[in-house]
Amino acid sequence: MIGVAGAGRIGAQSALEIASMGLDDVALVDIVPGLAEGEALDISHKLSDAGVDVDVAGSTDYSILDGAELVVIAAGMGRKPGMTRMDLLAKNAGIVGPVTKEVAKHAPDAVLLVMTNPMDVLTYVALKASGFPKQRVVGQGGLLDMSRFKYVLAKKLGVSRGSITSLVVGEHGENMIPLASHTYVGGVPLGTLLSEAEVQQAIDDTRKVAADVIAKKGATVFAPGRVVARMAKAIVDDTKEVVPASAYLEGEYGLSGLCIGVPLKLGRGGIEKIYELKLTDKERDWFNRGADTLREAIANLKL
C-alpha cells in the first residue's frame, strides 16, 4: 500500500496519478475532516471508468497508513504569488515534522518521498523526525525541474520533448542547476545547438517557470503529481531508475549534513546509489551556492 500524507491539491493529484498507474492501493490522510475521504471517493470513481482495480481510501486517522511501503509527504502550505519556496520554511517545518513522526509510527518500514516546499530542507526535517536510515528518505524536486527545463528547450529548439535528455541538480529553488553540460538533443550536445547566452536564458526561464504558473493559477499541481508517481513506480516496482532527486549527503560532492538534489538510483529500499558528476566551474559554484542556502536554513530550524 502507498500512503499520501496531505490531501490538498498536490497530494490529491499525486494520489490520482499513483492510483491511475495501478501501482498499489492508496491511502490518503489529512487533518481536514472529510477532505481525504472525499478525494479518495472522487479518485475511485475515475478509476472505475478507467477499469483500474486498486482501492483508494481516506481518513483523518494516521492508522490508515499501517503497513505502507511508501508514504508521500505532501502536507503543508503551498506557495502564493510572489513567494519563494524558502518563504514557507518556518510554517511548513512545523507541519512536516509532526506529520512525519505520525507516519513513522504507523509505517516504520516505509520509504518517505517528500514533496512539501522548501523541499530539500523538509527532506532533512523528515529524515530527522522519522529516525529512518538516509536511504529511505528522498525528496522529489530535481525530476520536476528537469521536466520544466526540457519543456523550455523543446519550445526554443522546436524539437520533441522526448528527444531531450538532461539533468537538474542542486537546491530545488532559485539555485537549481539545469546542467547544460549534461544535456543532449538526440545525442547532440546542447552547446552545439544554442549559444552560451541562449543556454543561460533557458536556465533562467526554467528557474522562473514555477512562479509563473503560481501567479496564473495559484499552484503547480499536475507536473508535481506526475513526477511523484514516476518516483513511486521506481520504488514500488524496484525499477532501479536513475533520477535527479534530493538525498542526504555524507561526503558526496564534498558536502555533508544536508539534503540536496543529485542523480540517484531508486529501488524498493529507496535510494540505492548516489552518482557524482563532473561539474563545470560555473555549475559547481551554483551547486555550492545552493548548499550554503540550505545550510543556513537548516541552522535556523528548531527541531
Residues carrying an active site annotation? 172
Instruction: Write the DSSP string, 34-77.
Output: THHHHHHHHHHHHHHHHT----EEEESSGGGGTT-SEEEE--SP
Long-range contacts of range 147-156, CB-CB < 8 Å, 24 or more positions apart? 147/223, 147/226, 147/227, 148/206, 148/209, 148/210, 148/223, 149/178, 149/183, 149/202, 149/203, 149/206, 151/209, 152/202, 152/205, 152/206, 152/209, 153/183, 153/185, 153/190, 153/202, 156/194, 156/198, 156/202
Burial 7-39 (b: 16+ CB within 10 A, else e): bbbbbbbbbbbbbbbebbebbbbbeeeebbbbb
Q: Which of 178, 186, 163, 182 lies closest to 208 in space, CA to CA? A: 178
CA distance 186 to 268: 31
State phi, psi for 192 to the nearest 5 degrees. -90, -10
Task: Indicate the burial class of 121 (C-beta count within 10 angstroms; 0-12, 13-18, 19 or more).
Answer: buried
d(CA 283, CA 295): 18
